[in-house]
Amino acid sequence: MFTNFVSAHQVSTNDAQALIDRAEAFKAGTPAPAHQPVYAANLFFENSTRTHTSFEMAERKLGLTVIPFDPGHSSVTKGETLRDTIKTLAAIGINIAVIRHPEDTYYEQLLDVSPTLAMVNAGDGAGQHPSQMMLDLMTIHEEFGDFTGLKIGIVGDLSHSRVAHSDADMLTRLGAQVMFSGPKQWFSPEYQQFGPYVPLQELVPQVDVLMLLRVQLERFNNNENAAFSKESYHAQYGVTEQLAQTMKPSAIFMHPAPVNRDVELASVLVDGPQSRIFTQMHNGVFMRMAMLEAVMQARHFGAVPAHSLNH
């Protein structure tokens, strides 16, 4: 029961399949069911284009009423705690708070705020990003119809990724085989349970899905390793046009974006026929509709006369 949707740990393989089915139905044109007014607010304490805009779109397609909230113009600037801010929004009648926040597991302290307010986590620090995981799964499912036996390579900044761990965990549970590559020092022990580290030249030719992870640009702007430049990363750990020619013709690229063009992936490949990077963004809207709907159903939002929600 998704009374809140805050972590990939909540998602069973059955849940994942049900959410994918529902998102694919929305994408195929199934209209969102009518409901009593439900009020959403999006609280983004970190900058975002894709996730923020995608949730805004999903909310409107579901028929939610969206109340604007800008953290920089809120009482957070007067020292109000996040918990008091969320309690305030609950008192005002917000039913769904979509939150991105730089603090890991910020949501733990907010789970019990109110029976009339649900949280959807849009990313916490270096922690969870469940809607990204779900849209990744949807994109793979849409492409291949099934997860069993798929070979999936996850490449890049494993230690800073909000989704690599969740994706690896869920894909393994769904029957896929996961491998990792990129700078070896970023392959932390927690990943070993899911699959092996494989040098990039060996990994690329055998995978069905190449999931590239964004490298934080700050990585390249320090003195620690002057030899570590965008160009050297691309040559060693990025997918060049030459390397891409060793891929299976049916294999696809994925990336959570924004892509550093010619770093993780040669720019021309970002827009090429094997890229599903913009498909991921497109699918994200429908997946977020499915996730928000799951939360509304678990909480019975919209099912009851509207004014009852506010009592």
Residues 6+ apart with CB under 8 A from 9: 128
> How many CB atoms are located within 10 Å of the residue 31 CB?
9
Amino acid present at 189: P
> Considering the rule CB under 8 A, would residue 80 count as an interface residue with its own copies?
yes
Longest dimension (CA), the chain: 63
Q: Residue from 2, 39, 147, 233 that binds its own copies (CB under 8 A)?
A: 39
Annotated binding-site residue? 162: yes
- Binders of its own copies among residues 213 to 272 (CB under 8 A) are 217, 257-261
> Considering the rule CB under 8 A, would residue 44 count as an interface residue with its own copies?
yes
How far is it, in rounded angstroms, from Cα 11 to Cα 300? 20
How far is it, in rounded angstroms, from Cα 207 to Cα 149? 11
Q: Residue from 14, 29, 189, 249 that binds its own copies (CB under 8 A)?
A: 29
Q: Residue from 3, 10, 36, 65 that binds its own copies (CB under 8 A)?
A: 65
Element housing 142 (H / E): helix 130-144
- Binders of its own copies among residues 104 to 163 (CB under 8 A) are none
Q: Is 132 helix (H, G, I), strand (E, B) or coil?
A: helix
Nearer to its own copies, 17 or 65 (CB): 65
Annotated binding-site residue? 184: no
Per the structure block, which two tokens stand in for 215? 């490298």
The residue written with tokens 């009592």 in the block is 311
Residues 6+ apart with CB under 8 A from 271: none
Nearer to its own copies, 75 or 148 (CB): 75
> Considering the rule CB under 8 A, would residue 54 count as an interface residue with its own copies?
yes
Binding residues with its own copies: total (CB under 8 A): 60
Binding site for its own copies (CB under 8 A): 27-29, 37, 39, 41, 44, 47-50, 52-54, 56-57, 60-61, 65, 67-70, 72-81, 84-85, 87-94, 217, 257-261, 278-279, 281-282, 284-285, 305, 307-308, 310-311
